[in-house]
Amino acid sequence: MADEQPQPLQPEPTTPVETSEAQKAAPAPVGKKKAKKKFVTAGNAYVQATYNNTIVTITDQNGAVLGWSSAGKMGFKGPKKSTPYAAGITVRDVVERIRDTGIKTVDVFVRGVGSGREAAVRALGAQGLTLNIIKDITPIPHNGCRPPKVRRV
């Protein structure tokens, strides 16, 4: 019994399964369905201009995002991200991305104190969009945090 070698398992022969003619003719779809592009004429543009970056988001009237871009996404690094030039390039990128939605007019909402806020608003107008309103929505504290206790040396 010790001299016997175990035999390798042989696969059992299988018979081919016949498929119907409809299955042979239509191959199964591969991948995701392509999303239908939205067509809107009016929307909102949100510009967040911080000391470190400038982010521009364009939405439809309901708030669904059509496109966005930021200075960091455009390849600017470090302190260059918060410059007016970077804000202009960012706006140009996001408007090119949403050009096929047919947007013509936007309401601009600016948040933050960065140096790119004015340049972003000017760039939106220069890209051919009509600006209905420009509103500053920077959060302002009404009383702020409690100040630290007085330092004693």
CA distances from 112 to 63, 105, 123 (A): 20, 23, 17
For residue 91, the one-letter residue type is V
Contacts of 139 (CB under 8 A, 6+ apart): 111
Q: What is the pLDDT of residues 66-97, one digit of tens each?
A: 999 999 999 999 999 999 999 999 999 999 99
For the domain covering 42-136, report its CATH number: 3.30.420.80
pTM for the structure as a whole: 0.73
Q: What is the pLDDT of residues 19-29, one digit of tens each?
A: 666 556 666 66
In the chain, domain spans:
42-136
